[in-house]
Structure 1
């Protein structure tokens, strides 16, 4: 997989050119992308389940386990809030929605958007995280329910007598290794799948659709770059011993996969592989933090929600007060927890707009381009997961974890 990042980027460029040249006929390449995504999805759910059990079992006996869990959750919440605050600031500075005419999109308006944007109540969210049948959760791919059960089960294993639990934990770790090997094999065909995905997306929608929202797109990309190449590296520099250059270079591979698949979950095996083998992060930490992050860490999404809110507020000439900004930050940060790490149109942005009293009539214009936005924000999401794993590993490194070899020396 040493050259997978370069191969994926080349495939993206080739697919884009094919989509531009062939137009809608490029849809003939769509099955190549579908096969690749299906192969990834086939392995991701069971990998996430066993990886979380392995990570929770490894951390369970550590005195730092409580701090690790709180640090992880605190990091995800704080960075998401900072991300949406940055997005609001960038939106106010560059004002991408000024002068936009939405009169031509009335026919696109879907009257049921408001229903899709309704967030569940607090207790409904908590109750929905607890599975009544874990096998049903695995069958349905309910990531949050799988997460809760596997964390609980992994911690329980760590509390069982070591001599009895060790064979099972060793077996689970072996299964994790087997799944990672399978993912690595599937990733060998990633460039072919990426070519099909890009050719189909560009051929179907084209870049002409971006013209109306080009200002939003440019501010969005700029905000993502600031967060990913200034804020996150600053955290690595300040809170870990990993050289910033090494971190940025190592993350190119998972970022390329995230761009191509638009899925944090599909990128998870590659992120884990890079964090452990190239950044020296311990397996127990990576197995705990990264699956959790792929489920609930959505800083890239938070930036998108904040910018879209400002964009439409400016387009419809809605004055946002302090209360509206607070509503946008809270809704974006808390709502992202329930976002599954898979590609697809995001209707949480509807809830963000409704919370701030912003009209939602213009949203259909963005749904056709959601794949492009999703690809970019997913790359930032998985970068944040890796940053959190590095910081948590620094914290957990103060406490020896039973039955685990020390991490590779960081250079």
Structure 2
């Protein structure tokens, strides 16, 4: 059995075992602790102890590689492109494509939410205390892109600052003449191979990590929370799937004339990882390898666009924010008008640039979006119950968008191996995933 099939099996078994434990222990949004002594032992020792520990080790092992992978791969890419006359155009094209897909995502979300009206008839009495997170201003967001201490940025996992430093370092290598520049470029190319080998070694933990993460989640996730907000939940879910398959599929077909079915088949293992971890950054190692190895995007493009996308491309988060804004406005009977929804599109698109690729951060930027149009941030308390599961789905959409933009940019720059893209036969020795 291939590693991908093992991961899928782990995901299915994790959901099934988690649901069975949830029903066995009688847990929901009101009853979070098992009533029997035996049930409490299972919950404390097995679920919150052993399974949670293994799941957290799996996520930590993935995050372990994020900073070195981003730094080394971006240095390699920038060193290769540093003397390239197209580097500026390539970077501009990549960023604009990410912003365009994000704007399309939130516009689509608002449009469908206005038709469905998920907040109509909601009882506002369920909105309880919610501590408003402090959202950075647009000015601070852009200032914080540039690092004053690159070592500190790496230690804190500030990916925007790591990206900026990596690109500058790579460009400096490309502009260094003689043997020094060549030897440094060769060193980082070899280091990149070592880091990717580490990725493949840690991927062997994936089936067990995915199983444990999903058992932990579904054993504590009461389906009553989903039923209470079914209209909102399924509206967000529908728009997420529509954007992933409809918008990305259409862009690939129209812009590159490539078969989107091949793209989605090859991205399946990445989607499983993203769904399980709910973190674009934790999924980054497997996303980068899939984009390069399976989809045929040149390393010069992939090493720039994929880490950047994991940081600024938050289409799934933007969709949640669009539907949530309409939901909260309708729940509070506040009409923000066309101008208000246009402001939501602008604010959410810009906010995605400073959104970290970690679980739950979308609620922070949602507070910023709500404040921009005068909606009460306390309304976020209405959707917290179902946000954890939706966070997993929208992360899968985010990483799909990272790969789609990488393919489009690679194709436009003549740096896409179309034969490799269309080849569905993978060599198990070179790609065990």
The normalised TM-score by structure 2 is 0.87
What is residue 348 of structure 1 aligned with on the other side? 365
2:95 is matched with 73
Asked if residue 242 in structure 1 is aligned to residue 258 in structure 2, the reply is yes
Aligned to 1:126: 142
Aligned to 2:379: 362
Conserved? CA contact 1:302–1:336, under 8 Å: yes
The CA deviation at 1:241 is 4.7
CA distance in structure 1 between the aligned counterparts of 2:202 and 2:354, rounded to whole angstroms: 28
* 1:14 corresponds to: 13
Question: Does structure 1 conserve the Cα–Cα contact (< 8 Å) formed by 2:105 and 2:315?
Answer: yes
* Corresponding residue number in structure 2 for 1:55: 77
Summarize the alignment of residues 150-299 of structure 1 with structure 2, pairs less than 5 Å apart.
150-161=166-177, 163-299=179-315
Equivalents in 1 of 2:3, 2:387: separation in Å?
25
Q: Deviations over 1:306-345 (max 9, x none)?
A: 1100111111111121221122111110011111112234
Rounded Cα–Cα distance in structure 2 between residues aligned with 1:97 and 1:222: 16
Q: Give the Cα separation in 2 of the matches to 1:216 and 1:8.
A: 30
Task: Tell me by how many angstroms 1:406 deviates.
Answer: 7.3
The alignment yields a C-alpha RMSD, in angstroms, of 1.9
Of the three residues 54, 58, 63, the one matched with 1:41 is 63
Displacement of 1:159: 1.7
Aligned to 1:396: 413
Change (3 A) 1:309 1:162: farther
Q: Partners in 2 of 1:343 and 1:351 — Cα distance?
A: 17
Could you tell me which of 310, 313, 316 is aligned with 2:326? 310
Shift of 1:360: 2.1
Deviations, residues 218-256 of structure 1 (Å, cap 9, x unaligned) = 111111111111110111112225322211111111111
* Alpha-carbon distance between aligned partners in 2 of 1:369 and 1:35, rounded to the nearest angstrom: 25
- Which of the residues 400, 403, 408 maps onto 1:386? 403
Tell me whether 288-297 or 202-211 shows the greater mean CA deviation.
202-211
Q: Which range moved further: 59-68 or 43-52? A: 59-68
CA separation of 1:121/1:242 partners in 2, compared to 1, >3 Å: closer, same or farther?
closer
2:195 and 2:386 map into 1 onto residues whose CA distance is 33
1:27 corresponds to 2:48: yes
Residue pair 2:294, 2:420 contacting (<8 A) in 1 also? no
Bigger Cα displacement from structure 2, 19-28 vs 88-97: 19-28
Q: Separation in 2 of the partners of 1:243 and 1:294?
A: 24
- Describe the shift of the 1:59–1:408 C-alpha distance in structure 2 as closer, same or farther (beyond 3 A): farther
Q: Deviation of residue 79 (structure 1)?
A: 0.8
State whether residues 80 and 174 of structure 2, in contact with CA within 8 Å, keep that contact through their aligned partners in structure 1.
yes
User: SS in structure 2 opposite 1:56?
Assistant: helix
SS at match of 1:362: helix
Q: Separation in 1 of the partners of 2:289 and 2:419?
A: 13
Q: Secondary structure at the match of 1:343?
A: coil
Secondary structure of the equivalent of 2:123? coil
* Alignment correspondent of 1:376: 393
Structure 2: unaligned runs, 5 residues or longer: 23-32, 34-42, 423-433
Q: Which moved more, 1:359-368 or 1:168-177?
A: 359-368
Matched position secondary structure for 2:296: coil
Query: Which residue matches 1:89?
Result: 111
User: CA offsets, 1:258-316, max 9 Å, x none?
Assistant: 11111111111211211122211111111111011111111111111111001111111
3-state SS, counterpart of residue 379 of structure 2: coil
Deviations 1:10-35 (A, max 9, x none): 22222222222223623342111111
User: In 1, distance between residues paired with 2:107 and 2:4?
Assistant: 31
Q: Secondary structure at the match of 2:238?
A: helix
Q: Deviations over 1:82-124 (max 9, x none)?
A: 1100000010111111111121333xx12x41xx2533242x2
- Shift in CA distance, 162/7, structure 1 to aligned 2, threshold 3 Å: farther
